[in-house]
Amino acid sequence: DTEVTQTPKHLVMGMTNKKSLKCEQHMGHRAMYWYKQKAKKPPELMFVYSYEKLSINESVPSRFSPECPNSSLLNLHLHALQPEDSALYLCASSRTDMGFNTGELFFGEGSRLTVL
Amino acid sequence: GNSVTQMEGPVTLSEEAFLTINCTYTATGYPSLFWYVQYPGEGLQLLLKATKADDKGSNKGFEATYRKETTSFHLEKGSVQVSDSAVYFCALPNTGFQKLVFGTGTRLLVSP
């Protein structure tokens, strides 16, 4: 069982809709991440939050808006998406933002997004 | 910057066969190296890691040795099971340790 919980598991939205993806972890981790994964590709980093502050934005379009309300929660707000944004969105966490060096990222099962 | 190259898949094996998935890296210094696994319909899980040259990471019967002479971190398992069918990603931190750099992934299919 994963300790990073993502909801919803599946989401279908139109290009004019506004929706949100949610992620929750209770491991006391202080770094949280959003990744995007297209079919048959590796995950691509989108955002990193460290101690509830945005520390990395990988030049993601503004139609994706992250939010970290507290140390356990991470949201990704979606607005005016394009069909090419359809993908699996993965949330991850680690003890600190040095998780990239220790490699100990804990991933959720992902939210599969389809944009019509 | 740091990068990894993985063998193309899919790798198709019968149960109990020996597995090798090749991974070579290019890096400044000697960063930690990782193998992640993604089972169907799931997120990624850290499978094993090695933090310095000549280290051997192991987990669930899988092993990989950090070889600086050949800049390799090949994943091996002596006897695969159907349940090992998944996509395997080799990874290392980028030069500034700001993110993980993943290989392209290798799909493993194990038949009974």
pLDDT digits (tens, 9 = 90+) for B28-43: 888 899 999 999 989 9
Angstrom distance (rounded) from CA A8 to CA A21: 7
Q: What is the pLDDT of residues A33-50, one digit of tens each?
A: 999 999 999 999 999 998
The confidence band for B97, taking pLDDT boundaries of 50, 70 and 90, is confident
Q: Which of A48, A98, A105 sits opposite B46 (nearest CB)?
A: A105
Q: What is the pLDDT of residues B59-69, one digit of tens each?
A: 999 999 999 99
**CB-CB neighbours of A93 under 10 Å:** 27
Angstrom distance (rounded) from CA B108 to CA B85: 5
| Strand A4-7 relative to strand B106-111, pairing | unpaired
| Shortest Cα–Cα distance, A104 to chain B (Å) | 7
Determine, for residues B32 and A103 on separate chains, whether the beta-carbon distance falls below 8 Å: yes
Angstrom distance (rounded) from CA A30 to CA A95: 6
Angstrom distance (rounded) from CA A32 to CA A94: 7
Stated as kind and residue range, the H or E segment containing A100 is: helix A99-102
Angstrom distance (rounded) from CA A39 to CA B1: 25
Determine, for residues B93 and A103 on separate chains, whether the beta-carbon distance falls below 8 Å: yes
Q: What is the pLDDT of residues A81-101, one digit of tens each?
A: 999 999 999 999 988 766 665
Q: What pLDDT does B30 receive?
A: 86
The confidence band for B8, taking pLDDT boundaries of 50, 70 and 90, is confident
| CA distance to A54, A105, B49, per residue, from A70 (Å) | 12, 19, 30
Chain A, chain B: beta-carbon pairs less than 8 Å apart = 59
pLDDT mean over A102-109? 85
